[in-house]
Structure formats: C-alpha cells, structure tokens
Amino acid sequence: MHSAGKGSEPVVDVVDLAARLIACDSVTPAQGAVFDLLGAALVPLGFVVDRFVTGEAPDGPVENLLAVRGSGGRHVAFAGHVDVVAPGPGWASPPFAPEQRHGLLFGRGAVDMKGAVAAFVAAAERVPADAGTISLIITGDEEGPAVYGTRALIDRMAARGIAPDLCLVGEPTSQQRLGDMVKIGRRGSVNIWIDVPGRQGHVAYPHLADNPIPKLVAALGAIEAVTLDTGNAWFQPSNIEVTDITVGNPATNVIPGHAAARLSIRFNDEHRGDELVERITAIVHAHAPEARVEGRISGEAFLTQPGAFSALVSAAIERHTGLTPELSTTGGTSDARFLSRLCPTVEFGLLNATMHKVDEAVAVDDLRALVAIYADIALAGLATQPTR
C-alpha cells in the first residue's frame, strides 16, 4: 500500500490526475474511461473499489463507484461526481484536452468537480492506513436526473453495512478565494407541472367550448400571491417561480383544448416537498377542479448545524489559507441533499466562478492547497467524533 508518510514522497500528483480525469469525455451520464482512471489511481493506495451500473432509461443506466479503505475506527467519506455538463462551443482550447496557461488548468470539469475528486485521492494518500476508514462516494450522474446516482450509492452502502461518521462533498463552494465559503445546508427543490383541460371550439361560439386559459391564469395569479416564508437564521426565503406556460394553439379563431404551466420551488427547511405539492394542488383545483397537477421533488432542504464538524473544516481551511470561511446555505442543490441523511455533511471545494462556463479553469496552486486541506479534514475527522 502506498502511503505518504514522513520521509516519503507522494505518489499522486493532483495536477496530473486532475488533467487526466478532465481528458476523459464524461458528459453526464459518465461511464467507462473516467471510472477506469479513477479506480486505477485508488487501488494502489489500498482502496477496495466497487463499480456498478444501475437504472433503466430514461434516467439510466448510470455508473457509480464506491471505494473504501479500512474497516475499523471512525469513517470519513469524500463524495462527488465525475460527470460534467456539455461543454458547448467557443473554448480557447479543446474542453477535453486539458491545458495549463498562466497557472491555470483549463478543461471541462476542472472545478466541477474533477479537480476536487483528484484532491480526494491525493489527500487520502496522506492519511495513514491505520488512522481509520476512508471512502470515496463517486457518481456519474450528478449533473443529470440524479435518480440512479448518489441515491443508488447510498442503497449500496446500506446493503454492505457501510456508514460514514462524516461526509465532505467536494462541490465548488468558494466564491472569491479558495476557502472563503463552506456550505452547511441547501434549500430543497421541487418542480410542478399543471395541465388544465378545456373543450376546444370556435371563438365565435364560446358557449360550445370551455377555455382553460382563464382558469390557469387565475390559478397562477393565486400562486404568485403566496408568500411561503420570510427566511430564517440560516436560509433565505423560499420562492415559487413560473418557469413555463404552454398552450400550443396556432389558430387565431380556436379556443384551445388545454393549457399548461410549470413551476419551480426552492424551499428552506421550514417546508417539505410533498407538502408544497399538496398546497399548490389545492390552489389549482380551487380554480380548475379538473386540472392535473404533478410534482417531482429533486431533494429536501437540509442543514448540518454548526458544530464540531464545521469547526474542524474551518480550522483546516484557516491553517492553509489564512481565511475563516463563511458558513452558508446559498446556491442550488447538490448531492449533499441525499448524503445528509447518513451523517453530518458539509460541502467545500474550489472556486465556482467558471463552473458550467466556457474555458472552465482551476488554479494549480488551489488544487495543491485543496489536497492539504482535505487531508487535514480527514485526519481531524478520524481522530474526533463530531456531533450534529
């Protein structure tokens, strides 16, 4: 087993590993080569690597990787993904041909989040094998529907009796400088589809038709008037947004047969997704009793209360950057929404300024600093049992 201890040189070069991961075209859902490379990096460090593919179309199949080293003591998990969003046109250099320029490593996934995954591996090498249990929970479908990704990994862990004491998700949380922000929670997300049926007919004979548009507009007006909450100590106010209205009626003299809309709700920990779907359904049915309302919950809100875990993460960041990070719950959803069910979970990673953008890039110095921070977090987490 390779282990970077006193007097030994590390085997894993985080910049090289990040570049090789970037070179794998792994637009979501990722499969194959990127997992081959990651597994090959982990096995020499003593990890037992479990790769599996699960799920059916349209949201599958998805490949995932669960790597574990150790079987006793406390257990620290690093979690993330190796799938990326499509790169799009306009890159200065090919998105899957990593290139270093002016101290930056360019390529799709550099910060979201192949750089952090490479740092997980390099950090694990710095942790003595007898310090406790370390795992990597890596999905190929965080950027996609996320139905057969981290949720499937959690089921796999439960079947094998694997239960982390702590979990760090390597999403790019830093804003202006590496280490200025740690996410200790996220709002939940639910999308809701509304379809109001009517009865098609000629506009000159409205008594022979039933126009669904006024009913839908009335329902949306009532929804727009709702104030879910005013926020709380850790979360901004929940918000409901209309993201689509569709009638699809090309004729100027026809009353349409149906009208539809879609909502997106981002909600804090004062709500649950199923309760919000029920509330919206009741409002819609008050104006359109025959309407069909369907909700899809992407994830519930979660909060890891500030405590021992966030304190040790902050201490590691301050040791290597001089910054005291802000603890935040802002931003979109991540797979931490699932992992938080297992154990205290926080998110910390690279600068997010270029994620999902053309010419995504990570500072080479930040990659190396992130390895040191992750290693310190693992060592401290294995030595001290944090509480929620």
d(CA 208, CA 197): 15
The set of residues, in sequence order, having a beta carbon less than 8 Å from that of 43 and lying 6+ positions away, is 49
Q: Does the CA dihedral 320-323-326-327 come out positive or negative? A: positive
Q: Are 45 and 121 in contact (CB under 8 A)?
A: yes
> Nearest CA to 196 among 175, 174, 219, 177?
219
Measured in degrees and rounded to the nearest 5, phi and psi for residue 318 equal -65, -35
State yes or no: 141 annotated in a binding site.
no
- Cα dist. 62→20, 169, 244, 362, 368 in Å? 21, 19, 29, 27, 30
State yes or no: 143 annotated in a binding site.
yes
The set of residues, in sequence order, having a beta carbon less than 8 Å from that of 327 and lying 6+ positions away, is 182, 184, 306, 310, 314
State yes or no: 81 annotated in a binding site.
yes
Exposure string over 134-158, b if 16+ CB within 10 A, otherwise e: bbbbbbbbbbbbbbbbbbbbbebbe
Residue of 83, 125, 141, 300 marked active site: 83
State yes or no: 294 annotated in a binding site.
no
Retrieve residue 151's tokens: 């949720």
Q: Are 371 and 124 in contact (CB under 8 A)?
A: no
**83 in active site:** yes
State yes or no: 244 annotated in a binding site.
no
Q: Does the CA dihedral 38-44-47-53 come out positive or negative? A: positive
Residue of 141, 142, 269, 376 marked active site: 142
> Nearest CA to 325 among 302, 351, 301?
351
Radius of gyration of the chain measured on its C-alpha atoms: 24
Q: Checking phi first, is residue 377 left (phi over 0); if not, alpha (psi -120 to 50) or beta?
A: alpha
Alpha helix stretches (DSSP H) within the chain: 14-22, 33-42, 115-125, 150-160, 213-224, 273-287, 308-321, 336-339, 364-383
Q: Are 221 and 214 in contact (CB under 8 A)?
A: no
Where is the binding site, in residues? 81, 112, 143, 171, 356
Residues assigned a catalytic role:
83, 142
Where is the binding site for Zn(2+), in residues? 81, 112, 143, 171, 356
